[in-house]
Amino acid sequence: NAGVTQTPKFRVLKTGQSMTLLCAQDMNHEYMYWYRQDPGMGLRLIHYSVGEGTTAKGEVPDGYNVSRLKKQNFLLGLESAAPSQTSVYFCASQIDAGWYEQYFGPGTRLTVT
C-alpha cells in the first residue's frame, strides 16, 4: 500500500516550457487535491477533484490545469511555465466528503528559470 505517490520528485523547467505532474493514490479515495507550498505562505489549494471526471478551482488556479480521468490519478499541468510557479507541489487525497484527514504525497520540487 503505497498511499499517495507523486512523479517526478524534482524538475527544472525553462520559462514557457510545459509539463505534467502525476499524482496517484491506491486508497480508493474519492477526493484529491493539488497544493503549492511557498516559504511563509503555507499550503495554497490550486485545484481539486471530488470524484472521477470532476475538477474544481481552488485558491490559486491561474496558470494550471488538471484532469481526473481515473479515480486513482490526478494530473496537474503547466502549459507555459513561469518563474512565479517555482514552488513545491503537494498532492493529497481524502476518503470522501466530510471532515476527514488528508493524506499527502512526498511532493515535487519545481524550479522555473
Partner 1 sequence: GQQVMQIPQYQHVQEGEDFTTYCNSSTTLSNIQWYKQRPGGHPVFLIQLVKSGEVKKQKRLTFQFGEAKKNSSLHITATQTTDVGTYFCAGPAGGGNKLTFGTGTQLKVEL
Query: Based on CB atoms, which residue is closest to partner 1, 76 or 92?
Result: 92
Whether 96 contacts 31, CB under 8 Å: yes
CA distance readout (Å), 41 to 5, 14, 91: 23, 24, 17
Q: Which of 44, 52, 63, 65 binds partner 1 (CB under 8 A)?
A: 44
The answer to whether 50 contacts partner 1 (rule: CB under 8 A) is yes
Q: Which of 20, 62, 18 is nearest to 44 (CA)?
A: 62
Distance CA 60, CA 12 (A): 21
The answer to whether 27 contacts partner 1 (rule: CB under 8 A) is no
The answer to whether 61 contacts partner 1 (rule: CB under 8 A) is no
The answer to whether 45 contacts partner 1 (rule: CB under 8 A) is yes
Query: Based on CB atoms, which residue is closest to partner 1, 17 or 88?
Result: 88
Q: Cα angle vertex 113, ends 37, 111, to 5°?
A: 30
Site for partner 1 in 89-108 (CB under 8 A): 90, 92, 97-99, 101-107
The answer to whether 14 contacts partner 1 (rule: CB under 8 A) is no
10 Å CB burial of residue 71 (0-12, 13-18, 19+) is middle
Which residues contact partner 1 (rule: CB under 8 A)? 31, 33, 35, 40-45, 48, 50, 56, 58-59, 90, 92, 97-99, 101-107
